[in-house]
Structure 1
Amino acid sequence: DSHIINDSNESFPEDIKEQLILRDGDWYSFPSHILSAENREKWGLPDATRELWESTDYRNNGGVIFNKTIMDELGITEEDVSTESGLLEAFEKVKNAGLEVNGGKVTILLANGKAYNGTGWQCGNCVATLANFFGAMPVDENGTYQSLYRTEGFRHAMKFLNTCAKQGYVDANQFTMDDAAIEAECRSGRVFCFIGNTASTGFAFEGEWFTPGVILSDGGETPVLGINQKVTTGWLQNFVSKDTKNPEAVARFIDFMSSKEGLILWNYGEPEIDWTYNEDNLIVRTEEGTEKSSNANVTGVGAFWAFCNQNFDQSIMDPSNDGGIVPQCAYGKNPATYVYDSQALSLPGAYIEGNEEMNTITVEIKNYVTRQLADIILHAVDEEDFNARMQELTDQLDKLGLGELEAYIDEAVQANYKELGVVLKAVN
């Protein structure tokens, strides 16, 4: 503990440390992307950006982004793309325009590429984002845990994507795209709309972009967003071997990387070359610094994110350095969105992985839905066919053990309810 001191001569944030000890039994790791109320108080927020950074309490990767350049060219308004029916009309307008950008046909809707349904057994990325827009919650009206696959919001999301496929707004090829291909496509300026994990785009749209935050369902369902308000324990965890030959050198390294000087150097580069201060005394990247940060694996600028301190960044960074702030906060800040504290849905470490039967179920569900959802989206030809395919999906998920898995997870959720003194209930 005595080694991990920052420039304010204060120790590592106690609220994060407490959660690490609660999780691991003692303090063993130095986490990346540390973010907490105590850490925010330590580093502070500039007056010029306080309101914006406080909005990051609602930040979430799932969302929708539009190419404002294409919107303006075709006379598509911000209001047009804020509702389900308006969005479909905008898609049709883009399709009929037959636009080409930089020598290529416009991609009307990019539905998160091959990660359209996330990377695990649970519904994620594009499908889950739409399901949440359309009111899906992982609990029912009584507070019992349920997979999003059980919800009307999920069904609605699948129907919306199937409509997009039938109308030619989405094609099969994009369901094989990885993040590198997604970002490259966005950089080309050819993507009109992206829905899903917005980080996959690199926020690299050619020209300006716009987000309404949510797409409002034609059925009137309230869009929902779960934000875990529990103090987080970071992303990547840095550990030091007990038998390291140079513990003092390691301690000095961690000390430097977590200090103001170190955080500026590895994240922003050299002053006056890679960054300067603006009139609000906030760091702004130069053109050279921006280029270096986009090639971190070669230049090292931004490469040591294992020591990322988000509260420090908020205390010193001009927001223009982070293209994701506005679109990733817009969902939760939209007045139509119902934001709920999702910490009751958090599971103990290795809760599923430590149970061989439940872990097997998750693997089998992941393998099944990865191929099956795309098949429904791309090939359901009409209402009757869609309903039959969705029923087949539900039946197969039950055969694979989804019900048993939900009951197992619900045991942990109910225990969390008792500990926290809350019960989550579906609002739609």
Structure 2
Amino acid sequence: MKKNYLKRVMAAALAGVMAMGVFGCGSASATDTTAESGTIAGTESGAQTASMGEAEVYWFSDVTGWGPNGWEKGVTTSPFLDAVKAETGVTFTIEQPPTDADTKLGLMIASNDLPDLISITDADTIKQLIQSGKVWSMEEFLQTYDPESHLLTDFPDDIKKAVNFKFGGWYSVPSHMNSNDNRKVNPPSSQVYVDNVTKGHNSAIMFNKTIMDELGITQEDVQTEEGFYKACELVKNSGYMIDGQSVFPVMLHADKWINSSLDGIIAETFGVAPVDADGNYRHKEMNPGYKRALKFVNNLIQNGYLDINSLTLDEAALKTYIESGRVFCWIGNPAQSSKKETVPFVSFGPILADNGARPIVPISLQAGSGWIQTFVSKDCEHPEQIAKMLSFATSREGMFLNEYGVEGVDYTLDENGIAARTEDGNKKFETDYKKNIALWPFANTDFAWSTQAPPAEGTDGAVFNQVSTAIGKYEDTYIFDSDLLSFQDGNVIEPSSDLGIKVSQVKSYLESQKAKIVSASSDEQFEKEYKSMLETLEGYSIADIDAEYNKTLQQNYEAYGEKIENVNAGIYEN
């Protein structure tokens, strides 16, 4: 791989010099992802690219922030992007709307004006896109335009089944694939990554170990509800400063606090199940235990441990506080904080409820359907080049380029196939790429965990693995298979039906009402707003919505041979 790629790079530099000599210097396009050294073209791939021509592909995503820093503006490139252009002639015009991306895509579907490539996560939009009939079946697309594609023979069978089950067919190339069949080709390099598969979770309660040590706070102090409040009170009144600035006792996940904090680890630590005592589906907001999760956040605000203004911050602002070391406890997605080497976070799993409820955590135990789903429009202008681009991007060569760069330049491989960044590769990773070289839609989780050594003690990776698996590893945690709830992803209730409209109304209402409940200035106001939530949900026919979801949940129970238990029904239902 290294020899062929470097040959193409050298040919590219020469081609760039020759082109400048003939045509003179011109301004770069705002969407051009070509490196300054020129277009990469070698004798083999160059001939193929020349025969197909260059193809500018309009790529839309509802996930923001991925790819090497500035690439979406044509400011920078990467070895992967350069190789994609060399192999297929494809360059990208990328659009990642920071807000209302799915609404915008919905309008494009309605007006029959779709982007060439569509990488999205919203389940309702995915359903709308597939039902429109305007995107290719991946099997048909590849058979038509790249019949030699490896994806037709080695795409993991269990993931294909999961995608078929979730979306009604194989219409997309998923990112972050993680399954038994995928691990047969990409076996985990260590037990750390096995734990990530079986215990890993994307929401955690994390403590700044430096502040704990400075103030004499122990694990025992923060692992119970009562002890946690006392620890927050100690931090609040300690006068402890970081670079002359006060410390925040608690922060949630900024403007994503509902999904990543409240409905994630907080509800889970208090043992809120998405089913009733008989295992029938029920919105977790209707579980009496959810009131305890809401009151926990309300107590933090009422007691001055959590600044309510922090709930409107964006992630970038949140990171500045976390990375400054000024946050004692932060509750949210551990992947969204960096510089863990200088801010040593640790998680002890749950904050145990004083009523004895067991923590309940959903973890995908089946073959997952991935995260970002990439679709191809039937009206795309360059189908053959897009097909070959997808095949290259998901090939082993493409995955190494996407994850690490160029072998021998950006990284080396040992005898066990474990990659290690070179000094130059690390420098570029920290500066040019801002720790984000990869295009996420082509990231493969099992591949990454197969080619990485276990993270060294004290590094970002080690801290992330510790905090993300702590709740799953806690001995009394009840883990259920989150795949049983995959039906929630827009596949049960038709969005345009009367009940579907009510589902949308419930979603919008809960976002605003939860904010009202947790920000209540008194216990009396809290009770009033909580009661209003239950009454309003009843008015939105929440029982009928749950009954429809439950039909599919019962089918999933039978198909998977498993069932979700409400292990705390005896505590919350009586």
In 1, the alpha carbon distance for the partners of 2:165 and 2:526 equals 46
Q: Sort the Cα spacing of 1:158 and 1:420 in 2 relative to 1 into closer, same or farther, 3 A.
A: same
Contact 1:112-1:126 at 8 Å conserved across structures? no
The letter for the 2-side match of 1:37 is N
Q: Does 2:470 align with 1:330?
A: yes
Does residue 350 in structure 1 map to residue 491 in structure 2?
yes
Could you tell me which amino acid in structure 1 is paired with residue 486 of structure 2?
S
1:38: Cα distance to partner?
A: 0.7
3-state SS in 2 of match to 1:144: coil
Deviates more, 1:281-290 or 1:160-169: 281-290
Q: What is the SS of the residue equivalent to 2:332?
A: strand
1:62 aligns with 2:62: no
What is aligned with 1:393? 533
Q: For residue 249 of structure 2, what is the aligned residue in structure 1?
A: 108
Q: 2:350 aligns to what?
A: 214
> Alpha-carbon deviations, 1:20-55, whole Å to 9, x = none?
344455433221111110110112233xx2354344
1:28 paired residue among 162, 171, 174: 171
Q: Partner residue of 2:63? A: none
Match of 1:78 among 216, 219, 232: 219
Q: How many Å separate the matches in 2 of 1:412 and 1:364?
A: 21
Rounded to whole Å, the distance in 2 between the matches of 1:300 and 1:169 is 32
1:316 correspondence with 2:461: no
RMSD, aligned CA: 2.9
Counterpart for residue 373 of structure 1: 514
User: Which whole-Å CA distance do the structure 1 matches of 2:486 and 2:169 have between them?
Assistant: 20
TM superposition shift of 1:212: 0.5
Q: 1:159-187 CA distances to partner (integer Å, 9 max, x unpaired)?
A: 21122112110122111012222122211
Q: Could you say what secondary structure the match of 1:192 adopts?
A: strand
Q: 2:269 aligns with which of 129, 133, 136?
A: 133
1:290/1:68 CA distance change after superposition, 3 Å = farther
Mapped to 2, the partners of 1:87 and 1:45 lie a distance apart of: 36
User: Which amino acid in structure 1 is aligned with residue 393 of structure 2?
Assistant: M
- 1:14 aligns with 157
- What is the CA-CA distance between 1:295 and the residue it aligns to? 6.4
CA gap 1:401/1:413 in 2 versus in 1, 3 angstroms: same
CA offsets 1:68-92 (integer angstroms, 9 cap, x no match): 1111111111232222222111111
Instruction: Provide, for residues 322-370 of structure 1, a one-character-per-residue CA deviation record: whole Å limited to 9, x for no partner.
Output: 4532211121111121111233322175323535323322332233232
Deviation at 1:276, TM superposition (A): 4.6
Q: Which residue of 1 aligns with 2:555?
A: 415
Displacement after TM superposition at 1:152 (Å): 3.0
Residue in 2 that maps onto 1:179 = 315
Indicate the larger mover: 275-284 or 26-35: 275-284
> How many Å separate the matches in 2 of 1:390 and 1:243?
49
Label 1:372 to 1:206 Cα distance change in 2 as closer, same or farther (>3 A): farther
Q: Tell me, which stretches of 5 or more residues in structure 2 are unaligned?
A: 1-141, 569-574
CA distance in 2, matches of 1:99, 1:65: 19
1:3/1:251 contact within 8 Å kept: no
Contact 2:492 2:548 in 1 (8 A): no
Distance 1:403-1:354 versus aligned 2 partners, 3 A rule: same
CA distance in 1, matches of 2:199, 2:356: 22
The alpha-carbon distance between structure 1 residues 269 and 295, as it changes in their structure 2 partners (threshold 3 A), is same
> How has the CA–CA distance of structure 1 residues 398 and 198 changed in structure 2, closer, same or farther, with 3 Å as cutoff?
farther
> Taking CA–CA contacts closer than 8 Å with sequence separation of 6 or more, which of the two structures ends up with the larger relative contact order?
1
Q: Which residue of the other structure, out of 136, 145, 149, is the alignment partner of 2:281? A: 145
Q: Is the 8 A contact 1:68 1:210 kept in 2?
A: yes
Report what 1:306 is aligned to. Answer: 441
Question: SS at 1:222's partner residue?
Answer: coil
The one of 296, 308, 333 equivalent to 1:160 is 296
Is contact 2:205-2:330 (8 Å) kept? Answer: yes
Aligned equivalent of 1:93, options 234, 237, 250: 234
Q: For the residues of structure 1 that align with 2:514 and 2:427, how far apart are their CA atoms?
A: 38
Distance in 2 between the 1:316 and 1:117 partners?
Answer: 35
Alignment of 1:233 onto 2:369: yes
84-93 vs 395-404, which deviates more? 395-404
Answer with 1 or 2: which has the greater Rg. 2
Letter of the 2:191 counterpart: R
Whichever residue aligns with residue 246 of structure 2, its letter is: K
CA distance in 1, matches of 2:165, 2:485: 17
What TM-score does the superposition give when structure 1 sets the normalisation length?
Answer: 0.87
Aligned-partner Cα distance in 2 for 1:86–1:141: 30
Residue from 542, 553, 564 that aligns with 1:402: 542
Deviation track 1:369-424 (CA, whole Å, cap 9, x = no partner) reads 32322222222413x44333321221122223322222221222223233334432
Secondary structure in structure 1 of the residue aligned to 2:258? coil
**Alpha-carbon separation, structure 2, partners of 1:32 and 1:11:** 15
Structure 1 unmatched runs, 5+: 119-123
Shift of the 365–199 alpha-carbon distance from structure 1 to 2, 3 Å rule, reads farther
The corresponding residue for 2:101 is none
Q: More deviation in 276-285 or 254-263?
A: 276-285
Aligned letter for 2:552?
A: A
Contact 2:273–2:566 (Cα < 8 Å) also in 1: yes
Letter of the structure 2 residue corresponding to residue 57 of structure 1? T
What is aligned with 1:121?
none
Report the AA paired with residue 371 of structure 1. Answer: S
When residues 158 and 18 of structure 1 are mapped into structure 2, their CA distance, relative to the original with a 3 A threshold, is closer
1:165–1:377 contact (8 Å) kept in structure 2: yes
* Identical-residue share of aligned pairs (%): 34
Q: Report if the CA contact (8 A) 1:62-1:197 is conserved.
A: yes
TM-score by structure 2 length? 0.66
State the alpha-carbon separation in 1 of the partners of residues 430 and 543 from structure 2: 45
Structure 1 residue aligned with 2:571: none
Stretch deviating more after TM superposition (407-416 or 214-223): 407-416
**Partner Cα distance (1:134, 1:228) in 2:** 20
Structure 1 residues 201-210 or 253-262, which shifts more? 201-210
SS at match of 2:492: coil
SS of the counterpart of 2:495?
coil
One-letter identity of the residue aligned with 2:180 = A
Which residue identity is paired with 1:5?
H
